[in-house]
Amino acid sequence: MIRTLLYEDNDLLRESISSMVSLNGELELMGTFSHANELEKELKKYRPELVLMDIEMPGRSGIEATHIIKQLLPNCWVLILTVFEDAENVLKAIKAGASGYLLKKHIASRLFQAVEDIQHGGAPMSPGVAKMVIQSIQKQGNSENYGMTGREKDVLLSLSKGNSFKLIAAEYGISIDTVRTHIKRIYEKLQVHSQTEAVSKAINEGLV
């Protein structure tokens, strides 16, 4: 079973997600929390393999918490759960090291599929999120484009139209696992290809 922690400040939603997870035979919910202000202690105690992480919480944000998780437990998966559908939060979460991004309105229908995708090396991304990433790439211009290949952009575009992994695979004559791999690589490139974020982090942490 996958050792799982849940961070969500909305009491009703936290209880609802907890109930869902407890009914899943592959996930072991080790703890639920309304904030991530004692995250380091909780990571040390529970050593989670999966963290379901809200973005907007009192005190430490989910994005900051994701940074810390990836530093302390690099192999831990972080699935961002949020109502936010704006490009800034999406890209910040991805660059923080999130394994996937799921809008809260889709939790009931897509949570376990998202976890399964992560387990199989994929990176869950909703059509709305894919559309924002494309818009961000277009703003970058030809000079950067995050170093994405033509096929990765094709997959993103198809995903942004609401196509399922199965439809994308059929459209380009590739396997569903290959689609998952392309999306995972997109996440990886979005994380590391940000000079401005690197400079900002260096200044904030007193490295320069």
* pLDDT, tens digit, 9 for 90 and up, residues 55-76: 989 999 999 999 999 999 999 9
| 148 against 124, higher pLDDT | 148
Decide: residue 63, CB within 10 A, 0-12 exposed, 13-18 middle, 19+ buried: buried
Q: Which of 97, 182, 196 minimizes the C-alpha distance to 144? A: 196
CB count in 10 Å sphere of residue 16: 14
Q: What percent of the chain has pLDDT over 90?
A: 42
Residue 73 near residue 102, CB atoms below 8 Å: no
Lowest mean pLDDT among 18-27, 61-70, 111-120, 190-199: 190-199
Per-residue model confidence as pLDDT tens digits over 72-97: 999 999 999 988 766 677 778 888 88
pLDDT band at 196 (very low <50, low <70, confident <90, very high): very low
Task: List, in order of start, the domains of the chain with CATH numbers.
Answer: 1-124 (3.40.50.2300), 125-208 (1.10.10.10)
Lowest mean pLDDT among 35-49, 170-184, 185-199: 185-199
Q: CB within 8 A of 55, min separation 6: which ones?
A: 61, 62, 63, 80, 81, 82, 84, 89, 93
Lowest mean pLDDT among 25-39, 56-70, 145-159: 145-159
**3-state class (DSSP) for residue 23:** coil
| Cα 47-182-152 angle, rounded to 5 deg | 140
Q: Which of 88, 77, 78, 83 minimizes the C-alpha distance to 107? A: 83
The CA–CA distances, whole Å, from 157 to 21, 25, 95, 205 equal: 32, 34, 20, 36
Run of H or E residues at 67? helix 62-72
- pLDDT at 142 (0 to 100): 47
Give CA–CA dist 67/49, Å, rounded. Answer: 15
